[in-house]
Structure 1
Amino acid sequence: MERVSKSALFCSVLVALFLTSYAQQNCSSFTFENNKQYTTCSKLPVLSSSIHWTYHSSNNTVDLAFRNTGTSSTRWVAWALNPSGQQMAGSQCLVAYTNSTAIHAYTSPIGSGIPSLQEGSLSFEVPSISATLSGTEMTIYATLQLTSELLSTNQVWQEGPLSGGVPASHLTSGNNVASVGTIDFRTGDKKRN
């Protein structure tokens, strides 16, 4: 019996290593439409999303691409940093959706009240932001000018429907409440709590 347990444990470890390696390989081998390359990536565990980035230590900037592969022109996507916790309140968001004429990408700080994705300045500079929609894949591209305190912090990502051509509330159950974790732009460490 002990031999069977050890064999099962060994097989489980091998499968876990394979899946982790495959997820990283799958994530890092992606080619972006603009031929941009990123040094680090992480396949996020829910909402069909991944984050790709290059950290520039000389000036604490991060070039990133947030990908959501399960969206449409009737949905919005967002990715955010939140130094105050793993929740939407307090998040500093990058948001994208398709309006009637083009893809709209912008920044949105989320206050402590009822979350809304109103356009506004973040607590850090975002010198550039844009987005693309190709089939069911929305990608937000941005450059972030971060303080040293934000280089390792909480991250939140979301998706939701449009209503009247603007972002409406997302689900408050399932994967939508599990879409939190941490990220360290310097080391590439990330985890989901």
Structure 2
Amino acid sequence: GGERRRLKLTLKLVADVALVGVPNAGKSTFLASVTRAKPKIANYPFTTVVPNLGVWIPPGDPYAASGGGAAGGGEESTSSSSRGLVLCDVPGLIAGASAGAGLGHAFLRHVERCRVILHLVDATSDDPVADFDMLNREIVRYGSGKLGRMPQIVVVNKIDAWEEEAAEGDDGDVDRSADST
């Protein structure tokens, strides 16, 4: 008796801001520095293999002062106060992610549930502009194209390391015109 159905359920994390970048761009370090999340951080690509959540609470918020709110890694509740933002650190994306390369579909589906995409671009990369362009192509190509219409913020990360390399004259080819982009 009774009717049987086979269902496939897909969990998509819900967050306000998706942290997106190439592998080892500093997404987990950023998440750990602005929230109480404790993602694994290491100096090699693909350290993050599952999305990490953290809650950013604005400075001066009474909820932050009480020690609540900023959570990650399942240690505390990820529900934010009325003024907090839930951040989702998505594992690094590679070329072809929109077609499933590097588990791209598994990661990009979490970005769909966010309201804003925050791109972390590694200033010390061989070609930060190419990295950013590749990420945008993958975002636009994924699924229905909804991600390409989401609000986006670009953050150039590791600029202090880039400036140190330029000052040391490591390669002599540092293009200072990148300062204005």
TM-score (norm 2): 0.26
Q: Whose RCO is larger (CA < 8 A, sep 6+)?
A: 2
Q: Which has the higher strand share?
A: 1
